[in-house]
Structure 1
Amino acid sequence: MRILHLLASPFWSGPAENVALLAQAQRALGHEVTVAVDRKRRDVLSEEPAVPRFQSLGLLDEGGLTLSVKSSPWELWSDLQALRGRQVDVLHAHFTHDHLLTRWGTPKGAVRIRSIHAPRSLRASLPDAGAYTVPANHLRAKLEGRHRPVQVLPALVAPMFEPPKDRKALRRALGLEDTHLVGMISTFQESRRHAVGVEAFAALVRHRPEARLVLVGDGALLEVTRTQVSAHGLKDQVTFAGYQQGPAFAKWLQALDEVWILGLGNDWSARAAAQARACGVRVVAVKEGALPELADAQVDAPTVDAVLSAALSGAQATTEHPTNHRIASDILALYGQAEARR
């Protein structure tokens, strides 16, 4: 099967990694798969660019698509013509721009699939597709009226996310104490609720004085969070690890005992929770996106008391997350359902 994923973003963030892992797993199952991304916006200094990543994986599509929300009318027309001339069996659109483009540019004989990665994309104006994916079970009902197959596309996890061989040695290498380590692993922005996390940690240390907090990431609220930590007198118990990526990020995650995920960003598949579970790290999480399916302990509301209660509960989930092979196989079956209904 010839599969072209469309991802109108220049950034290696949001759903990009999940799309890359899905494409790799589909290739491993014997299919011809490429990913087209935004080739217009080249100056993306604030975030890691997607093009080098997809290129290094051998997944970058070289079919001449600009695929950018900043495209001129002429570039949009050019993309439409280029798409119509492609020899593919499946066009898998991931963003609204991609879906609108495929609405008018799907080549004859190809099926059009749309992945929804965040609830804001579930609008009445959503164009028709042969099938849809959503990031969490509770969002399936939003598409039932379309009478098209709908399936959950879970977070896929790279092989480097696995339990550490020697957690004590890893902690020494990272300059961390060998004690109870709680982590938050996200961009410092309002939706991730670091302020709640720091307040909850201040409450936690009254129950577990040996606990330490590790904050991995950067962002607009980083200095505000530093100030909050200092105000609570927690500077010696909180490590700011900075922005980490790739194997380095995996190591910081492997060093933790538990991770608190108190809000999601652009990707509601909750990939960070799946990565943590793969590393043997306990997940304490709010009820957003796919987090309820991945959390060991659920936070009923994003409050200090609720986070503290979940952290102290000791709850452990018993469900296993599907493998990348299983997820890719299920999505290929969805393509087949869409084709059969044409």
Structure 2
Amino acid sequence: MRILHLLASPFYSGPAENVGLLALAQREAGHEVTVAVDRRRKDVPAEEPAVPRLRELGLLDEGGLELSVKSPPWGVLRDWSRLRARSVDVVHSHFSHDHFLARWGRPSGDTVVVRSLHAPRSLRSSLPAADGYTVPASSLLPRLLEQGKLAQVLPALVDPRFHPTEDREALRRELGLKGAPVVGMVSTFQPSRRHEVGVEAFALYRQQRPEARFVLVGDGQLLEPTRKLVASRGLSDAVVFAGYQQGEDFVRWLRALDEVWLLGLGNDWSARAAAQARACGVRVVAVEEGALPDLADVRVAEPTPSAVVHAAMSSQRAPVVHPTNASIAEDVLALYRKAAQARHDSRARG
């Protein structure tokens, strides 16, 4: 199959990493796969840019699509024309801009259009038509199935770099981490991630585990307010702000943890951080959002400090077996085939 993924983002973060790993797995299964991303926005100082990463992986599409929400109307029309002229079997779109472009710029012939919804806000009445859909969590699936749509869950894919460290204590020494247990949060500092709840929970947790350390990996708009909250609770000596980490550095920080607290999701409800943590042998304590319930060792019934501490103090471990990237890719390829068959049957009926 010739597969074109559309991802109107200049960042290799959020859903973009999942898209890249899916494209890689599809290519390894013998298909011709490229990923088109936002080529207009080039200044992305806060996050890893998508273009060099995808080029390094041999996945970057060079078909001339600008694919940007910042494009002027004539730029969108140019993308529409260029997409219409493409010769591909599947256009797999991922963000709202992509969805509308794919819907109206579908290449002629038997090209299948599949849409991935990465967060619940995309499930709305104005959802453009497609031949098939994916959602990041099973809780979102019924809304599409009830409408008679062909749909399935697209779980988080995990880079092979995520695996347990051979010597966690040595790694902690390298990172300057002292004390135990080491608990962490790995997410952007924004309201949906509930860092304030995490800090308040750690203050309670440390009353029972006085040698515990709290590692906060990431950056964002609420970073400085979180620093002030940590200081006001007298926790500065026990909390490490590791900053924004990516690539192998992020893997190292994650491997160093005993457990991770995932207290909210952003624009990717596949809960990739939970899958990555599990792959590293890190215990997952998580709220019941998106795909987190399927990946958590222990669930937090409600996002309050006391509920987080209650969950963290338990010894519960869930025997979750996460699907491999190859099996996830095969399931998505099967969705493409079903969509193509349904489209063919519909056209045959006339």
| TM-score of the pair, normalised by structure 1 | 0.98
The residue correspondences of 1:253-268 to structure 2 (distance < 5 A) are 253-268=254-269
The residue correspondences of 1:172-183 to structure 2 (distance < 5 A) are 172-177=173-178, 179-183=180-184
* Alpha-carbon distance in 2 for matches of 1:253, 1:48: 18
The residue correspondences of 1:65-144 to structure 2 (distance < 5 A) are 65-107=65-107, 108-144=109-145
- Give the letter for the 1:177 counterpart: K
SS in 1 for 2:161: coil
Consecutive unaligned residues in structure 2, runs of 5 or more: 344-350
User: Does the 8 Å CA contact 2:110/2:340 hold for their aligned counterparts?
Assistant: no
SS in 2 for 1:341: helix
Deviation, structure 1 residue 288: 0.7
Partner of 1:228: 229
Decide which moves more: 3-12 or 170-179. Answer: 170-179
Partner of 1:149: 150
* Alpha-carbon distance in 2 for matches of 1:64, 1:248: 33
Partner of 1:159: 160
Partner of 2:199: 198
* Alpha-carbon distance in 2 for matches of 1:127, 1:218: 34
- Give the letter for the 1:38 counterpart: D
- Give the letter for the 2:287 counterpart: V
Note the aligned Cα RMSD (angstroms). Answer: 1.0
CA displacement, residues 191-247 of structure 1 (integer Å, 9 cap, x when unaligned) = 111111011011011111121111111111112111111111111111111111000
The residue correspondences of 1:1-342 to structure 2 (distance < 5 A) are 1-107=1-107, 108-177=109-178, 179-342=180-343
Deviation, structure 1 residue 327: 0.4
* Alpha-carbon distance in 1 for matches of 2:286, 2:180: 21
Deviation, structure 1 residue 148: 2.3
* Alpha-carbon distance in 2 for matches of 1:96, 1:193: 26
* Alpha-carbon distance in 1 for matches of 2:67, 2:226: 37
- Give the letter for the 2:105 counterpart: G
User: Does the 8 Å CA contact 2:137/2:270 hold for their aligned counterparts?
Assistant: yes
- Give the letter for the 1:49 counterpart: P
SS in 2 for 1:256: coil
CA displacement, residues 135-172 of structure 1 (integer Å, 9 cap, x when unaligned) = 00010011123322111000000011000011111111
* Alpha-carbon distance in 2 for matches of 1:106, 1:190: 37
User: Does the 8 Å CA contact 1:171/1:178 hold for their aligned counterparts?
Assistant: no
Deviation, structure 1 residue 340: 1.1
- Give the letter for the 1:59 counterpart: L
SS in 2 for 1:215: strand
* Alpha-carbon distance in 2 for matches of 1:221, 1:102: 35
User: Does the 8 Å CA contact 2:25/2:325 hold for their aligned counterparts?
Assistant: yes
* Alpha-carbon distance in 2 for matches of 1:229, 1:79: 48
Partner of 2:346: none
* Alpha-carbon distance in 1 for matches of 2:194, 2:77: 42
- Give the letter for the 1:148 counterpart: K
SS in 2 for 1:146: coil
CA displacement, residues 173-205 of structure 1 (integer Å, 9 cap, x when unaligned) = 111125210000111111111111011011011
- Give the letter for the 2:252 counterpart: K
* Alpha-carbon distance in 1 for matches of 2:101, 2:213: 49
- Give the letter for the 1:302 counterpart: P
- Give the letter for the 1:180 counterpart: P
User: Does the 8 Å CA contact 1:168/1:178 hold for their aligned counterparts?
Assistant: no
SS in 1 for 2:330: helix
* Alpha-carbon distance in 2 for matches of 1:318, 1:2: 37
* Alpha-carbon distance in 1 for matches of 2:122, 2:57: 28
Moved over 3 A (4+): none
Decide which moves more: 294-303 or 233-242. Answer: 233-242
User: Does the 8 Å CA contact 2:11/2:50 hold for their aligned counterparts?
Assistant: yes
SS in 2 for 1:319: coil
CA displacement, residues 89-122 of structure 1 (integer Å, 9 cap, x when unaligned) = 0000001111111111111211000000000110
